[in-house]
Chain A
């Protein structure tokens, strides 16, 4: 067989890679160097004008980025803690173990947009059932109209929707752990807490890092929840980077500028997630 023939078999995969990954990135970069908008469609060349505008004259982009960082880090930490607790619970021999395993996965199986519409109805301040019930205790939080509380409403919905994903990864991790360290700890008379701190948690560290990074990548793209729940409001208090890019690109049709924001955002995310992964690895895999 001619050695060169093997390249022939690489072509299909290569074409797909170029089509769905390389070409879009190159196109976004080229688009970001153009002034494409609703009245001037086309790839004219305007140099780094969009990037200069982004770095010198658009505080809203950076505000939305820091807001996103807060929302994604908070939601992922909560998802990790709750997901780990639930996984740990059904990992053990409890009654209706299989039922709970399926039940905890239900939120993830629902369509995020539809569920957010339902959550929006729940949190509706004059017609929703949440405030209706809370009115018994004389409280009526402004779930969607207070700039601070609205952020936590977004967090609640995100945590509810995506904790099952964390639960699934961590449960798979727990089920794959070796039994010997736990037997050794039991022989040594370790309490459940010590067993968790010194055996379970360290053994779960590699899986935890993977799960956290995967969820951080996903959480950094948070868009549908914000779009449906608050439209980025009140004011700009729940506006995230992806929602802001959406507004500039597909609402205002500033395609060139939105492309420059997308590309900048991609670079920032690659750098920051790489750093986070390294830090987590150092912290959790010391030995």
Chain B
């Protein structure tokens, strides 16, 4: 009898989470793959909160990227807690000003503001630090060191981690690994068809596979889909191409500027080489590709239109969704490197292989210091990124939610709940994990007036892509503008802020 009772109790204990899972996933089909996952902000825990009569106001991105999960989790949060949640959707380019205008006027029309992690320096004085109880939660302890760093400033976390971002290479595995294509490529070019490890190889392969039907679907395919539209995150794509040539692990002390002098590095031969490659890339993007924003890039690669792509996870996830024509036909790899890297100290090229991951800025969210419902706001954010929501969000490319927790790098998540091919799931998680381990990473520029700096890069590089200026002329113009911005903002202010980022890049933080 005792044995029988123990068995019953054990079974109940083992299956109790499953019981929750069934209960909550019945009401909220979004989490049907996992059910509720126990944690500080699980569905179960949130259902015990009572925010009836309270209103939470959120400013987030337009639907779908980040805007859709914000609205979805708002609706779930309302049902669970009784709160009223008002969600405003704003285009990416206006997120900064939509929060900054009321911030500077001393108002808080939104309790929660979504933006990008590189806004942190300008926004931090208007945001409430993340309270200790959330900092100490098991979910927060699971966030990777890089993303804790990206969300924090000098040890204080101002942005609640909901997303993890980095740029990496995506490629059509069914083409690159295809022996027939390899033979054909070798015969035509004398070179091996393989996952490109340099930008030059990337360009050669992209050019070869540009403008013909290489997958036999009756439509023309192209070489590469990239974010090239002016002001639409294009500067991040340019930095992704620049890190290989300009981030030299033997010259610490600044990728964007020389930290000591604050002289911009942006027009040194490393960056110019990257821009020259990028101008060349305009020849192997799909028609209209030089006007592709992030959404176009996701649609183009995710829809099977191109051989390569590089940027955030979204295009890869879109390609791996069940409704994708190229599910389990794509691969992930680190950003290509280069066979030479610029040494800004000796002013010479070093002829050796270099590769550097770009932990690019990503979606970030904070709670306004002047909000009257801070507790509820942090609970919402904690709920947004709880285990069940996070895993479900990861599986939907258009949501723009990407791995930022150590547990996200377990390939079984993708194999079991998303139906990924094990080899692809392994290469994906290994690519992301290796970036976390790299000692030659570049982090986003996070200095006062960051938008002025990035806007100057977008303008300069887009002039080069449009043929209005040569790469050197374009980047000289950017460097001149950066010097003017540093002088306007104040050298000391920019230098102090930049020093924090340099510490991260030089692995001292």
* Chain A residues proximal to chain B, CB less than 8 Å: 35, 37-39, 41, 57, 60, 124-128, 131, 140, 142-145, 147, 230-237, 247, 250-254
Report the minimal beta-carbon distance from B89 to chain A, rounded to whole angstroms.
Answer: 14
State whether A235 touches B466 (Cβ < 8 A): yes
State whether B451 touches A126 (Cβ < 8 A): no
Report the minimal beta-carbon distance from A224 to chain B, rounded to whole angstroms.
Answer: 12
Provide the residues of chain A in CB contact with B185, threshold 8 Å: none
Inter-chain CA distance A274–B234, complex, in Å, is 41
State whether A234 touches B291 (Cβ < 8 A): yes
A231-B231, A236-B468 in contact; A251/B289 too (CB < 8 A)? no
A37-B449, A252-B452 in contact; A235/B465 too (CB < 8 A)? yes
Q: 12 A-B residue contacts at CB 8 Å?
A: A125-B286, A125-B287, A233-B231, A234-B466, A235-B465, A236-B462, A237-B468, A250-B94, A251-B97, A251-B231, A253-B96, A253-B122
For chain A, what secondary structure do more than half of its interface residues adopt (helix, strand, loop), or is it mixed? loop
Provide the residues of chain B in CB contact with A124, threshold 8 Å: 288
Closest CB pairs A-B (n = 9): A125-B288, A235-B466, A234-B466, A233-B230, A125-B287, A39-B448, A41-B104, A235-B463, A126-B287
For residue B55, CB closer than 8 A to chain A, the reply is no
State whether A232 touches B468 (Cβ < 8 A): no
State whether B289 touches A231 (Cβ < 8 A): no
Report the minimal beta-carbon distance from B451 to chain A, rounded to whole angstroms.
Answer: 5
For residue B44, CB closer than 8 A to chain A, the reply is no
Report how many residues on chain B are interfacial, defined by Cβ distance under 8 Å: 37
State whether B467 touches A147 (Cβ < 8 A): yes
Provide the residues of chain B in CB contact with A235, threshold 8 Å: 230, 462-469
Provide the residues of chain B in CB contact with A41, threshold 8 Å: 104
For residue B100, CB closer than 8 A to chain A, the reply is yes
Contact indicator per residue, chain B 418-460, by CB within 8 Å of chain A (1) or not (0): 0000000000000000000000000000001101100100010
For residue B322, CB closer than 8 A to chain A, the reply is no
State whether B489 touches A39 (Cβ < 8 A): yes
State whether A232 touches B449 (Cβ < 8 A): no
Inter-chain CA distance A50–B463, complex, in Å, is 25
A231-B231, A237-B468 in contact; A145/B291 too (CB < 8 A)? yes
Report the minimal beta-carbon distance from B123 to chain A, rounded to whole angstroms.
Answer: 9
Inter-chain CA distance A37–B485, complex, in Å, is 11
State whether A253 touches B466 (Cβ < 8 A): no
Provide the residues of chain A in CB contact with B288, threshold 8 Å: 124-128, 142-145
State whether B93 touches A251 (Cβ < 8 A): yes
Other-chain residue from B93, B96, B484, B493 in contact with A39 (beta carbon distance below 8 A): B493
Report the minimal beta-carbon distance from B314 to chain A, rounded to whole angstroms.
Answer: 18
State whether A231 touches B230 (Cβ < 8 A): yes
Provide the residues of chain B in CB contact with A250, threshold 8 Å: 94, 97
Inter-chain CA distance A128–B291, complex, in Å, is 13
Provide the residues of chain A in CB contact with B151, threshold 8 Å: none
For residue B68, CB closer than 8 A to chain A, the reply is no
Report the minimal beta-carbon distance from B367 to chain A, rounded to whole angstroms.
Answer: 20
State whether B462 touches A230 (Cβ < 8 A): no
State whether B468 touches A147 (Cβ < 8 A): yes
Provide the residues of chain B in CB contact with A251, threshold 8 Å: 93, 96-97, 231, 451, 455
Which of B100, B230, B286 is packed against the most chain A CB atoms within 10 Å? B230
Inter-chain CA distance A147–B282, complex, in Å, is 14
Inter-chain CA distance A142–B469, complex, in Å, is 19
For residue B229, CB closer than 8 A to chain A, the reply is yes
Contact indicator per residue, chain B 7-38, by CB within 8 Å of chain A (1) or not (0): 00000000000000000000000000000000
For residue B305, CB closer than 8 A to chain A, the reply is yes
Provide the residues of chain B in CB contact with A144, threshold 8 Å: 288, 291
Other-chain residue from A232, A234, A254 in contact with B452 (beta carbon distance below 8 A): A254
Which of B286, B462, B493 is packed against the most chain A CB atoms within 10 Å? B462
State whether A233 touches B493 (Cβ < 8 A): no
